[in-house]
Amino acid sequence: MINAGEQKVSLGNGCHFLGVVVHELLHALGFQHEHSRHDRDDYLIIHWENIDSRNYGAFMKLKPNEARPLTAFDYNSIMLYGEKSFAKQYGLKSMSAKDGRFLEEAYYKPGMSAIDVQRLKMLYQC
């Protein structure tokens, strides 16, 4: 979670999917990417060789003191990129789940996962 003032929400071209809108709104509420958690290497393999170096920042891990995970890792989180997000070539994976499951793109997800909802309730005591 980030404690900051005003939060802008980007809903430009390509943002007409419900999953993208929810993802961006959760950023405005302080959520970080699931694949940026400091413990993500326990759950994901990042395929750096398949990512254009200009997009490395999208896959950098947060330090333990930068964001405290409130729950277990959530493969279904709307805040987790899909397995081909930012791949430098069509068909390549930018990341994969260590347990072999498919990582769906956020824009195909129907909304927040049960754990996303749990985190929101914890953060805002609602």
Closest CA to 52 of 84, 24, 79: 84
Q: Is residue 4 part of a domain?
A: no
Catalytic sites, residue numbers? 24
- Residue 75 to residue 20: CA distance in whole angstroms: 16
Q: Report the CATH number that the domain containing residue 55 is assigned in CATH.
A: 3.40.390.10
Q: Is residue 91 part of a domain?
A: yes
Annotated binding site: 23, 27, 33
- For residue 10, the model assigns a pLDDT of 63
Residue-range definition of the domain harbouring residue 57 = 33-124
- For residue 11, the model assigns a pLDDT of 73
Annotated binding site for Zn(2+): 23, 27, 33
Q: Is residue 102 part of a domain?
A: yes
Q: Is residue 90 part of a domain?
A: yes
Q: Is the dihedral of CA 74, 75, 77, 81 positive or negative?
A: positive
**Is the Cβ–Cβ distance between 93 and 50 less than 8 Å?**
yes
Q: What is the pLDDT of residues 49-83, one digit of tens each?
A: 999 999 999 999 999 988 888 899 999 999 999 99
Spans in the chain with pLDDT lower than 70? 1-5, 10, 14
Q: Is residue 60 part of a domain?
A: yes
- For residue 3, the model assigns a pLDDT of 54
Q: Is residue 120 part of a domain?
A: yes
Q: Is residue 109 part of a domain?
A: yes
Q: Is residue 64 part of a domain?
A: yes
Asked whether the whole model's pTM tops 0.85, one would answer: yes
What is the number of structural domains in the chain? Answer: 1
